[in-house]
Amino acid sequence: MDLRQLAALIAVAECGTFSAAADKLHTVQSNVSAHIARLEKQLGATLVDRTAGRLTEEGEIVVARARRIQTELEGLVADVTALRHDVVGDVRLGIIGTVARWLVPPLHSAMTKAHPHVRLVVVDASTTSLAPQLVGGFLSLAIVNLPLADPDMLVRPLFEEDMVAVVPNGHKLSTLDVIHMPNLHSVPLLLPPTGMSYRPELDLVADEADVSLVAQAEIDGVRLITSMAFDGVGVAIVPATAVPGHMTGPWRCIPVEGIRPRQVGLVQRRRGMLSAPARALMAVLLDVIAEQAAAQPGVRLLEPEPA
């Protein structure tokens, strides 16, 4: 099996056509076709459905593993280079948007200063989007909502943050100084989908308090939920850092009692070593979080779990 064959299949998966894959690989379409045909012959399976223009089920499986192989090869080159020179290479960090807002600017500055030859690529997305990208090898590390039960990931808790309610002016809750769980009974709320983000915690404490949570809308993305509340669409229960301290508008940010804090953690793939750029990023990232978390209202650092 030739690495060029795997690269051709990945390019077809990402670009959608053989011709576009050839452009990406700076070659001709016939070479891409030949590489994939040889790979299919070696594996005894059709990997690309030429009629439908998409990968077959077997092709999807091969691409998933091929991406991991590419990630390991890139890490190998970066590790050897780091032994003889400065740390060099690319590293991709996935991060949930509410944390990215206050963490990425100082992290970028710190990485540029400490490791000027490392190119940091940041992917801002929800936890449900970042987790499969990490497992699939698109990302080196990711900062996500916890808990995250996935046997393919190693999890390091970073910090927790209080939950608050963003309440449009004129809403019946807007006159309260503190919102308690009974106040939320049967109130239409902007919520994450069931089972996602911090929704399991909300459902758990609601059940414990015999409170019925009503979803006015279910949105996978804390920043989008918060923006909708800012626009007066409805009431949102969100982490404290989703509401920048300098922001004001036709809404109130009210503390919520009785809801457990949101936990945020750093995750990496369980299989395979982190590359030298990824290890460098992790070290700088932990230092920056230790420095910056104290300045974020409602945020408290967590101790790493015992090995």
Asked if the peptide bond before residue 147 counts as cis, ω within 30 degrees of 0, the response is yes
Q: What is the mean pLDDT of the chain?
A: 89
At residue 79, does pLDDT exceed 80? no
pLDDT bucket at 305, cuts 50 / 70 / 90: low
What local confidence, expressed as pLDDT, does residue 256 receive?
94
Please indicate, yes or no, if residue 204 is contained in any of the structural domains: yes
Using alpha carbons, list the distances in angstroms from residue 97 to 24, 130, 278: 30, 11, 20
Q: Does 176 share its domain with 239? A: yes
Tokens representing residue 10 in the block: 């990945």
**Residue 78 lies inside a defined structural domain of this protein:** no
Q: What is the CATH number of the domain that holds 66?
A: 1.10.10.10
Residue 90 lies in a domain: yes
Q: Which domain holds residue 214?
A: 163-260
For 272: left if phi > 0, alpha if psi spans -120 to 50, otherwise beta; the answer is left
Tell me the Ramachandran region of residue 217: left when phi exceeds 0, alpha when psi lies from -120 to 50, beta otherwise.
Answer: beta
Over residues 242-262, the mean pLDDT reads: 90
**pLDDT above 70 (res 75):** no
Token digits for 275? Answer: 């590359």
Q: pLDDT for 83-111, tens place per residue? A: 556 788 899 999 999 999 999 999 999 99
Q: What's the pLDDT at 85? A: 63
Looking at the domain assignment, is residue 213 inside a domain? Answer: yes
The total number of residues written for the chain in this structure: 307
CATH number of the domain where residue 101 is located: 3.40.190.10
Residue ending a domain, among 16, 50, 72, is 72
Listed in sequence order, the residues at least 6 apart from 230 whose beta carbon sits closer than 8 Å to its beta carbon are: 166, 247, 249, 251
User: For residues 253 and 206, what is the distance between their CA atoms, to the nearest angstrom?
Assistant: 20
77 lies in a domain? no
Most confident segment among 66-75, 198-207, 282-291: 282-291
Check whether residue 179 and residue 244 sit in a common domain.
yes
Do both 123 and 208 map to the same domain?
no
237 & 274 share domain:
no
34 shares its domain with 116:
no
The domain boundary, picked from 26, 42, 72, lies at 72
Q: What is the pLDDT of residues 7-19, one digit of tens each?
A: 888 888 888 888 8
Give domain status of residue 179, yes or no. Answer: yes
Tell me: do 185 and 62 sit in the same domain: no
The answer on 154 and 273 residing in a single domain is: yes
Binned at pLDDT 50, 70 and 90, residue 234 comes out as very high
Section 194-202 average pLDDT: 88
Q: Are residues 127 and 178 in the same domain?
A: no
Residue % of the chain over a pLDDT of 90: 53
Query: What is residue 73's predicted lDDT score, i.e. its pLDDT?
Result: 75
pLDDT in tens, 137-152: 889 999 999 988 888 8
User: Is 267 found in the same domain as 189?
Assistant: no
Whether pLDDT at 156 is above 80: yes
pLDDT surpasses 60 at 40: yes
**pTM, entire model:** 0.72
- Angle (CA) 20-23-29 rounded to 5° is 75
* Average pLDDT, integer, range 291-300: 90
* pLDDT over 90 at 294, yes or no: no
pLDDT more than 70, % of the chain: 95
Structure tokens at 69: 């192989």
Q: What is the mean pLDDT of residues 267-286?
A: 90
Q: Verify that 175 and 245 share a domain, yes or no.
A: yes
Residues 269 and 138 in one domain: yes
CA distances from 239 to 86, 145, 179, 258 (A): 38, 11, 14, 14
Residue 70 has pLDDT above 80, yes or no: no
* Domain co-membership, 216 together with 189: yes
Number of domains in the chain: 3
Domain boundary among 15, 41, 72: 72
Q: Is residue 307 one of the residues assigned to a domain?
A: no
SS (H, E, C) 224-287: HHHHHHHCCCCEEEEEHHHCCCCCCCCEEEEEEECCCCEEEEEEEECCCCCCHHHHHHHHHHHH
Residue 210 has pLDDT above 60, yes or no: yes
Give mean pLDDT, residues 280-291: 95
Please report the pLDDT score of residue 216 as a whole number: 96
Confidence at residue 78, expressed as pLDDT on a 0 to 100 scale: 64
With respect to residue 101, please indicate whether it lies within any of the assigned structural domains: yes
